[in-house]
């Protein structure tokens, strides 16, 4: 069990003022966060991270984080966390030459974690592939606890490289990995996923200075007009929906933008610069769209200041140390959650 240092911060940003409560997870790296509102205003928040040689999870249902060791002897990297429509957490990551997963179940129904409350294993890849190289994987469980994965496969002999989809049923049966044959995905890796049902989902892929969103409906892949009309991108994130119309992205030299598409025609409507005056953004952004508000975008400046852009104003979340890759999500009350990486620790913030 990890110890959490707790503090209350009143932060006075550029523009709006915000109050946050923070919990600090020490000896942690590679963290990723996801949260979802399920049923009637019930919160499910999951933070997955590496601590020493262990894969860890910290969960919350609106209160303090509760941590647990999922796998004590592993070396996870490229960690991705999601919370499905039923509230089950799914962690996907790279470890020792292959893709792995941990799916949250009821206590006693799994094979790893305290009380065997997680199902852990290897994600199926195409038969006969050898020399697999590290790359990214995203996954999410649907309401029936089917686990859906998209990953980029790279091999030393460059055979069958590309983006693949595979599903693990709640009963543990894997489908045959299927390659997503879209030219827009060349040299791109999945970085975000949103699953609505067993047959409807979407994912965002990024690489070679571009980002593409792909919608999947009954096995049909649609990427029409879904590649962001910008080049030299360094990162991107999408609105949390299977048909996103808002994206954030960063591009050199240190620029942060919000770009939108028409909900009627699907056509791109141009982009808006978001970086604070005289400031440069590091290559990462995270976007959320509250139900009764404008989009909120989180980023870290090259001066190591964690900021939000909201309602036309810049807010300072933290300016006390070196931080990277802020990730934001929403509570049932449309308040923000934020996670970001420090020097050997993670900070999890809850907006008051």
Taking the chain (352 residues) in runs of 10, the rounded mean pLDDT of each run is 31 53 95 92 95 96 95 95 96 93 97 97 91 92 98 87 97 97 96 97 98 97 96 96 96 95 92 92 96 89 93 91 88 95 92 94
Distances in Å between the Cα of 225 and the Cα atoms of 133, 136, 213, 228, 276 are: 30, 24, 9, 8, 30
Task: Determine the Cα–Cα distance for residues 55 and 64; give it in Å rounded to an integer.
Answer: 20
Angle among Cα 301, 306, 310 to the nearest 5 degrees reads 100
pLDDT at residue 351 in the model? 95
Q: Which residues, in sequence order, are CB contacts of 1 under 8 Å at separation 6+?
A: 67, 68
**Helix, strand, coil share of the chain (percent; to 5):** 0, 55, 45
Q: How many structural domains is the chain composed of? A: 1
* CA distance between the termini of the chain: 26
Q: Which residues, in sequence order, are CB contacts of 18 under 8 Å at separation 6+?
A: 11, 308, 315, 317, 351, 352
Reduce the DSSP state of residue 184 to 3 states and report it: helix
**CATH label of the domain that carries residue 40:** 2.130.10.10
Q: Which residues, in sequence order, are CB contacts of 135 under 8 Å at separation 6+?
A: 78, 94, 151, 152, 153, 154, 189
pLDDT at residue 159 in the model? 76
Residue 84 is part of which domain span?
Answer: 4-351
pLDDT at residue 14 in the model? 41
Angle among Cα 309, 137, 85 to the nearest 5 degrees reads 70
- For residue 253, whether the previous peptide bond is cis, meaning omega lies within 30 degrees of 0, is yes
pLDDT at residue 324 in the model? 82
């Amino acid at each position: 069990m990890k110890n959490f240092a707790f503090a209350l911060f009143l932060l006075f940003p550029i523009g709006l003022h915000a109050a946050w409560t923070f919990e600090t997870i020490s000896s942690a790296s590679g963290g990723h966060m996801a949260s979802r509102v399920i049923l009637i205003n019930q919160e499910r928040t999951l933070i997955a991270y590496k601590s020493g040689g262990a894969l860890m999870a910290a969960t919350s249902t609106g209160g303090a984080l509760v941590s647990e060791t999922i796998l004590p002897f592993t070396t996870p990297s490229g960690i991705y966390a999601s919370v499905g429509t039923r509230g089950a957490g799914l962690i996907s990551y790279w470890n020792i030459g292959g893709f792995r997963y941990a799916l949250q179940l009821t206590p006693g129904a799994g094979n790893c974690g305290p009380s065997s409350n997680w199902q852990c294993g290897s994600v199926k890849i195409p038969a006969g592939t050898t020399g697999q190289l590290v790359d990214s994987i995203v996954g999410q469980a649907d309401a029936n606890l089917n686990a859906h994965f998209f990953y980029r496969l790279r091999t030393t002999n460059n055979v069958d490289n590309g983006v693949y989809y595979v599903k693990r049923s709640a009963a543990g049966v894997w489908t045959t990995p299927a390659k997503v044959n879209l030219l827009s995905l060349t040299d791109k890796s999945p970085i975000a996923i949103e699953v609505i049902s067993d047959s409807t989902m979407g994912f965002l892929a990024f690489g070679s200075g571009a980002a593409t969103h792909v919608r999947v409906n009954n096995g049909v892949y649609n990427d029409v007009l879904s590649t962001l009309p910008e080049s030299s991108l360094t990162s991107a994130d999408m609105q949390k929906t299977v048909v996103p119309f808002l994206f954030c992205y960063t591009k050199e030299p240190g620029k942060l933008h919000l770009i939108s598409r028409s909900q009627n025609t699907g056509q791109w409507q141009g982009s808006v610069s978001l970086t604070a005056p005289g400031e440069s953004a590091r290559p990462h952004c995270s976007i959320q769209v509250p139900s009764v508000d404008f989009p909120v975008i989180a980023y870290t400046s090259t001066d190591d200041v964690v900021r939000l852009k909201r309602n036309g104003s810049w807010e300072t979340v933290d300016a006390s140390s070196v931080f990277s890759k802020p990730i934001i999500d929403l509570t049932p009350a449309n308040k923000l959650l934020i996670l970001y990486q420090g020097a050997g620790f993670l900070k999890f913030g809850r907006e008051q």
